[in-house]
Amino acid sequence: MKVAAFSIKQFEKELLDTMNTNRHSITYFPFPLSPGTAEQAAGCEAVLVFTNDDVSAPVIALLADLGIKYIATRSVGTDHIDKEEASKRGIRIANVPAYSPEAIAEHAVMLALALARKLIPTVDQSRRYDFTIENHMGFNLHKKTVGIVGLGHIGKATARIFKGFGCRVIGFDVCFPEDALGVEEKNFDQLLEESDIISLHVPLTPESRHMINEPCITKMKAGVMIINTARGALVDTEAAIPALENKKIGAFGLDVYEYEKGLFFADHQSDVNKDPLLAKLLDFENVIVTPHQAFLTKEAVTEIAASTLSNLNKWKAEGDDE
C-alpha cells in the first residue's frame, strides 16, 4: 500500500522502516498535514497522522478527492479527526487503541512529584550555585487523596502508581470499570471536593471539553494540584490563570495545552509574538509544561509503530481479498 506519513520524527521513521519490511511504500514528511500539504498524499491510499495534524472536514475532503481511503493516527486520541466527514467520504479511520499506558501514567506522576517537591526551581537554583533551601518546602504524596478522572488504560495505570505511594485514590468515570482495584468510586463533584491532586485521563469529546472550568475550580480544595496529560481543552485555561494567581490552584502540571496545535513539536524560540496564554502559564513557578511528550518512551513508540503497521497490514489484506 502507498502511504503518506505526516509529522514524522526521525525516531518514528527508523522504527516504521525496520518493522515495515517493505510491505508498504511509505513516504515520510516531517511537516504536519494541513490544507497546504494534503496534496503531498497524491497517489497514496493511506495517510498516517499524529495529534496536531489538521484532519478537519476541509482537509478530509481534499484527501478524499486525492483517492485516500484510510487514515491511521499514531495516537490513542482521535479528537483531531472529523470522523463524520471521513465516514461521509468513505474514508476509514484507525487509531492505536492502547500502548504502554504506563508511559503516560509515569509522566503524570513525575509531574506531580516534581511539583510537590518544587524540583524545577530547585534545580534552576542549584545551577546558579545557590544551595539555600528556605523556599523549597514541599509536601508528601503519602496519605494525600488523588482523584483520577477517567479510569481507562492510563487512568488505572496512574491509580496503581499513586497507590504505591500510599495515597488514597478516588476516581470518576462515566463507565466505572470493575477492575479499578483499590480506587473508590465517586461522582465528579465529590472528586473535585475531596482531591488534593486531580489527574485527568479522559478523551476530549464535546462532553469533556472544559470539564475543568471556573465553577468546577470553585468546588476544589484550596491549593489543589491539577495534572493534565490527556488533552489540553479538558481544562479551560483562561479559568485556570486567575485560580493560579489567587492560589486556589496550588500547582498545575500540563503535558497538553488547549492551543498546542501549530505550537508544540516545533522550535518557537525566535517567534516575536508568543502565545500570550501559554506565556502567562510559563511565568508561574508552580506550573510545569511539557510539550505533549508523555508517550515518548522507547517502549511506547515501538508499540505505536507496531500497531500503526498492523492497521495498514489489515487494510492491505482486506484490499487484497476484494
In whole angstroms, the minimum distance from the beta carbon of 302 to ligand NAD comes to 15
In whole angstroms, the minimum distance from the beta carbon of 198 to ligand NAD comes to 12
As a whole number of angstroms, the distance between CA 298 and CA 100 comes to 10
Catalytic-labelled residue, pool 292, 299, 303, 322? 292
Catalytic-labelled residue, pool 45, 231, 258, 303? 231
Q: Encode 107-152 in three state secondary structure.
A: HHHHHHHHHHCCHHHHHHHHHCCCCCCCCCCCCCCCCCEEEEECCC
Q: Give the residues lining the site for ligand NAD (CB under 6 A).
A: 76-77, 98, 101, 104, 149-155, 172-175, 201-205, 207-208, 229-231, 255-256, 292, 294-295
Listed residue (146, 149, 150, 135) closest to 113, CA to CA? 146
Q: Is 84 a catalytic residue?
A: no
In whole angstroms, the minimum distance from the beta carbon of 75 to ligand NAD comes to 6
As a whole number of angstroms, the distance between CA 118 and CA 282 comes to 15
Q: Is 142 a catalytic residue?
A: no
For residue 199 the three cell numbers come to: 489527574
In whole angstroms, the minimum distance from the beta carbon of 301 to ligand NAD comes to 11
In whole angstroms, the minimum distance from the beta carbon of 156 to ligand NAD comes to 8
The conformational region for residue 90 under phi > 0 = left, psi -120 to 50 = alpha, else beta, is left
As a whole number of angstroms, the distance between CA 197 and CA 251 comes to 9
Is residue 15 within 8 A of residue 301, CB to CB? The reply is yes
Q: How many CA atoms lie within 13 A of 108 on its CB side?
A: 30
Q: Is 260 a catalytic residue?
A: yes
CA distances from 204 to 108, 173, 255, 258 (A): 17, 14, 14, 11
For residue 231 the three cell numbers come to: 488533552
In whole angstroms, the minimum distance from the beta carbon of 148 to ligand NAD comes to 10
Catalytic-labelled residue, pool 45, 85, 258, 260? 260
Is residue 73 within 8 A of residue 51, CB to CB? The reply is yes
* Nearest to ligand NAD of 167, 204 (CB atom): 204
* Nearest to ligand NAD of 44, 217 (CB atom): 217
As a whole number of angstroms, the distance between CA 25 and CA 5 comes to 10
DSSP H helical segments within the chain, as ranges? 10-20, 57-65, 83-88, 101-116, 119-127, 153-164, 188-194, 214-219, 237-245, 276-283, 298-321
In whole angstroms, the minimum distance from the beta carbon of 251 to ligand NAD comes to 18
Listed residue (72, 62, 18) closest to 41, CA to CA? 62
As a whole number of angstroms, the distance between CA 241 and CA 236 comes to 9
Give catalytic residue positions.
231, 260, 292
